[in-house]
Amino acid sequence: MLRSVISELLNIEYPIIQGGMAWLGTAELVSAVSNAGGLGVIGAGSAPPSWLVEQINSTRALTSKPFGVNIMLMSPFVDEVVEVVIQEEVPIVTTGGGNPGIYVARLKQAGIKVMPVVASVALAKRLERLKVDAIIVEGMESGGHIGETTTMALIPQVVDNVATPVVAAGGIADGRGLAAALALGARGIQMGTRFVCTTECIAHPKFKQKILGASDHATMVTGQFLGHPLRCLRNKMTHEFLMREQAADSKEELEQMGLGKFYAGVIEGDVESGSLMAGQIAGLIREIKPVKMIIEEIVAEAEAVITKLPSYSCRESE
Ligand code: TUI
């Protein structure tokens, strides 16, 4: 029942895509998601091309299913990363953090399916003209670099403006979220934060525990002053960053303050001074589970919700 144009396009079982998280979208998590019937995505982040080649090789050793690479467009290595995915014949690419327009034709010519992540109707329409295969539409509930509009408001607006299949991202971590995304016109979902709290994800246990302990108010957005809004779990780092933003410290100094802080937080476990990128749905996540269990539960819950929906309508007066 949960097959869709997205699962057909990607040749996967369920239309569930793992967000291409820098440092966390490694062969361990990627192969687990792909082996469980979703699409695992290596997060190239700002890592050098040699790191990406190693991750592609390790992923191939762990799964024979399709997987993708997320190209982070602000990476200093973006051009080399594009060359690596072509050379290595990676079947699917997602992009983030910018407009991938200049790379789309080259990737498509190489036979790669291209699914950019966008946060606006305008960019979705522009990329549709370049014949991207699907568009991942990300609301500001997401962790990391975000746009300005919520998933609830953005998905139906993009769906009404493009014919390209839409995947919903931002604020989704269970089967209710998947069913809601489908109700809004999306044909699949992408999740990041939910896949951090898995046995397979290499995130530091202290970061996973911070997500498990998160409330609905646990995240905040910094970097608005820099023009790069970034959603992270609240900690000493976000507090200090905000104080310095309010004091209008120089943009250069603030940019410098953020560098390398993500690795320190999520891999090294410096959960007070590191940048703990996570979405608002963190407050819903209560357990670390194997990827396969999460995917099976989400699919079963979404099917149950969709089946029950007719009985939720207002029939009391009948
Ligand atoms: O890219 C993401 N999420 C990310 S990237 C990232 S790495 C980073 N590290 C430190 C500071 C900033 C970033 C962490 N999280 N999600 C996809 C996404 N793309 N969200 C928003 C956008 C986006 C923004 C502007 C896409 C296109 C865009 O276009 C601007 C333009 O040029 O039209």
Between the CA of 301 and the centroid of ligand 1 the distance, in Å, is: 30
**pLDDT tens across 26-47, in order?**
999 999 999 999 999 999 999 9
CB-ligand 1 contact for 38 (6 Å cutoff): no
CA–chain centroid gap for 307, Å, is: 27
- Is the CA virtual torsion 209, 231, 271, 136 positive or negative? positive
At 246, the pLDDT band (50, 70, 90 cuts) reads confident
pLDDT of residue 1: 63
The CA angle 300-306-34, to the nearest 5 degrees, is: 40
Indicate whether 305 belongs to any domain: no
Between the CA of 97 and the centroid of ligand 1 the distance, in Å, is: 2
- Exposure string over 80-107, b if 16+ CB within 10 A, otherwise e: ebbebbbeeebbbbbbbbbebbebbeeb
Q: How many domains does the chain have?
A: 2
Return phi, psi of residue 33, to 5°.
Answer: -65, -45
Q: Are residues 26 and 172 in the same domain?
A: yes
The structure's pTM equals 0.96
| CATH number of residue 32's parent domain | 3.20.20.70
The CA angle 207-210-216, to the nearest 5 degrees, is: 135
Indicate whether 230 belongs to any domain: yes
Indicate whether 126 belongs to any domain: yes
Give nearest CA residue, ligand 1 atom 4.
Answer: 145
Q: Are residues 97 and 193 in the same domain?
A: yes
Q: Are residues 115 and 237 in the same domain?
A: no
pLDDT of residue 317: 46
User: Looking at the chain, how many residues does it have?
Assistant: 318
Q: Are residues 189 and 229 in the same domain?
A: no
In a mutational test of the pocket of ligand 1, which residue from 70, 127, 145 has the highest number of ligand atoms less than 8 Å from its CB?
145
Give nearest CA residue, ligand 1 atom 17.
Answer: 96
Tokens of 22: 């820098």
Give nearest CA residue, ligand 1 atom 20.
Answer: 146
pLDDT of residue 276: 98
Indicate whether 175 belongs to any domain: yes
Give nearest CA residue, ligand 1 atom 28.
Answer: 98
